[in-house]
Amino acid sequence: MPPSSPSIQRKPQLSSLPILCKGIVICGLVLFLFYTVLCHHPNNDNDLFVPFIAQEWPASSPTNVTSSPTDLSHIMFVLVGCIRTWKYRRPYIEAWWRENKTRGNIWLDVAPTQELLPWPSSSPPFRVNEDIKKLKIYPKLVNPVEVRIYRSVLETFRLEDNKDVRWFVMADDDTLFFLDNLVEVLGKYDHTKYYYIGTNSECIKSNYDFSFDMGYGGAGYALSYALVEALVSTIDECIERYPHLYVSDYLSSSCSADLGVDLIIEKGIHQIDLHGDISGLLSSHPKSSLITLHHFDAIDPIFPSMNRTEAVNHLMKPAKLDQSRLLQQTICYLRQSNWTFSISWGYSAHIYESIFPRSILRRPLETFRPWKEDRPPLFMFNTRRPSNDPCKAPHVFSLEGVLDRDEGSSSHEHVITTYSRSLQRNLPACSSNGNHSADPIVKIQVFSPSTGRKEAGRIECCDVDYVAGKDIANIKLRACMKSEVLA
């Protein structure tokens, strides 16, 4: 007879079933109550989760974005120079520095000599860099001067005068800033997060030699307060990692990259790694607002018949009235003569005896040479080769003067910039377009609205008022009509 053990073994399983069901019911009730409390909190559905999320996944950067707009007082300039070149470069800085408004210092290698004292209030206050020979890594540094330059950021951060600073802007002493445009551009970014804003070189060879991801220090670059705050505790450690780096801007790029921060390029910042006549570049500036120009000692004066200092001060005249339009290119046409006018506001005006679309004239005339001679391609942008073809060669006019009112009137409806012929073109008229020579024109007047800053990146159109044979052409800038084609 088979044993009864199988039936006996099943009894505990049957008797435990009610207990198991009770356990499931109790667990379900607990989970339901837990869900109800979490999902129906009277104040915030997610409040109970926040502490746990914050502990496990902390924010990578501050998020307390200030509501007030960025202004000039929020920018700290870290300018670097040396006693040997200061007296020659001082006029460049004084052309844009606003006494009692701009903040920052010019960092020097040694204290000023007696011939440079008393220090003028029109220049940034000077400070002398720390002696970097105290660094353990000093004997291994390939270029100690560049380390001194980069550590100026650290030394500036340690100063007591850093209240309300949002941006640290680094540049050389031969860099020209356009402050209104700088403020507007930096205002687009959140200074409480990590930002590294600058530009690379115009020349492919320079970027190849150093880095395509480096913000060139001569052109100037901006570091957000949050990024500098993170950098200062690691700068000397970073220098020890890269004693072989030859330039300060490559060092800066490397140290920022090690924190996971890449360069953001702003096209209005200009290294000017060029030689000779850069008028072709300045006459076809990109739509971006002009922020800086560098290397004035390495190029020809940007206006004819002037020295470098005079030329810089001349450019600052229209800049004081309207930086938003400075160097912005506007194209318009006189179709009965088959002429194209290209205006680089506050700098130059060109007349072509043919109709050219903007897609062509936005490419700079290659009037300049690269920083280092090399095989093509040379530049980071497309260019047009100069030509002696009378249908392609422009009549060139340079800024003569600027008025902030209509001449002979007390109204302030327009800013008037006047451009006079730089030199005779010495070419015949373009025969294929009807022999309409622009030789009689000696002056061009451009009327622009005086209603405040032009919106960054917005293209303007214009109308030409000219009577054949007269020596002056008038051009009025205006908003483009819907679907207006610039050709």
Half-sphere CA count of 323, side-chain side, radius 13 A: 18
467 and 329 inside one domain: yes
Tokens of 386: 């100069």
In the chain, the number of structural domains is: 2
Classify 466 as helix, strand or coil: coil
* Domain end among 231, 255, 271: 271
Q: Return the pLDDT at 405.
A: 61
In a domain, residue 63? The reply is: no
- Residue by residue, DSSP assigns 419-449 as EEE-S-------GGGT----TT--EEEEEEE
Which residue, among 438, 437, 441, 480, has the nearest Cα to 457 in the 3D structure?
480
* pLDDT tens digits, one per residue of 362-397: 999 999 999 999 999 999 999 999 999 999 999 999
* Domain end among 271, 288, 307: 271
Q: Which residue has the tokens 């399983």?
A: 13
pLDDT band, residue 27 (cuts 50/70/90): very low
Of the given ranges (75-79, 100-104, 246-250, 456-460), which has the lowest mean pLDDT? 456-460
**Would you say 82 and 99 are in contact if contact means Cβ atoms under 8 Å apart?**
no
In a domain, residue 416? The reply is: yes
User: What residue ranges in 70-140 does DSSP mark as E strands?
Assistant: 75-80, 103-108, 126-128
> CA-based angle 455:78:453, to the nearest 5?
15
More confident residue, 154 or 3: 154
Tokens of 370: 């690269």
329 and 437 inside one domain: yes
247 and 371 inside one domain: no
231 and 332 inside one domain: no
Which residue, among 210, 386, 369, has the nearest Cα to 295 in the 3D structure?
369
- DSSP state letter for 299: B
**Would you say 384 and 365 are in contact if contact means Cβ atoms under 8 Å apart?**
yes
User: What residue ranges in 52-154 does DSSP mark as E strands?
Assistant: 75-80, 103-108, 126-128
The range of the structural domain enclosing residue 474 comes to 321-479
* pLDDT tens digits, one per residue of 287-313: 999 999 999 999 999 999 999 999 999
pLDDT band, residue 203 (cuts 50/70/90): very high
Q: Return the pLDDT at 39.
A: 40
Give the separation between CA 200 and CA 215, rounded to whole angstroms: 5
358 and 430 inside one domain: yes
For 169, the enclosing helix (H) or strand (E) is strand 167-172
Residue 20 one-letter amino acid: L
Cis before residue 69, ω within 30 degrees of 0? Answer: no
Residue 53 one-letter amino acid: I
**CATH number of the domain residue 215 falls in:** 3.90.550.50
In a domain, residue 234? The reply is: yes
Which residue, among 319, 351, 322, 386, has the nearest Cα to 462 in the 3D structure?
351
Q: Return the pLDDT at 372.
A: 93
**Would you say 271 and 210 are in contact if contact means Cβ atoms under 8 Å apart?**
no
Tokens of 230: 């993170």
Q: Which residue has the tokens 């560049």?
A: 146
**Would you say 344 and 282 are in contact if contact means Cβ atoms under 8 Å apart?**
yes
114 and 178 inside one domain: yes
**Would you say 122 and 97 are in contact if contact means Cβ atoms under 8 Å apart?**
yes
| In the predicted structure, residue 262 carries a pLDDT above the cut 70 | yes
Could you tell me the pTM of the whole model? 0.85
Q: In terms of residues, how long is the chain? A: 487
Q: Return the pLDDT at 26.
A: 52
In a domain, residue 473? The reply is: yes
Query: What CA dihedral angle connects 108, 109, 113 and 115, to 10 degrees?
Result: -50
| In the predicted structure, residue 28 carries a pLDDT above the cut 80 | no
Task: Determine the distance from the C-alpha atom of residue 67 to the mean position of all C-alpha atoms in its chain, rounded to a whole number.
Answer: 23
For 20, the enclosing helix (H) or strand (E) is helix 5-39
Tokens of 152: 């100026």
* pLDDT tens digits, one per residue of 269-288: 999 999 999 999 999 999 99
In a domain, residue 80? The reply is: yes
In a domain, residue 174? The reply is: yes
262 and 361 inside one domain: no
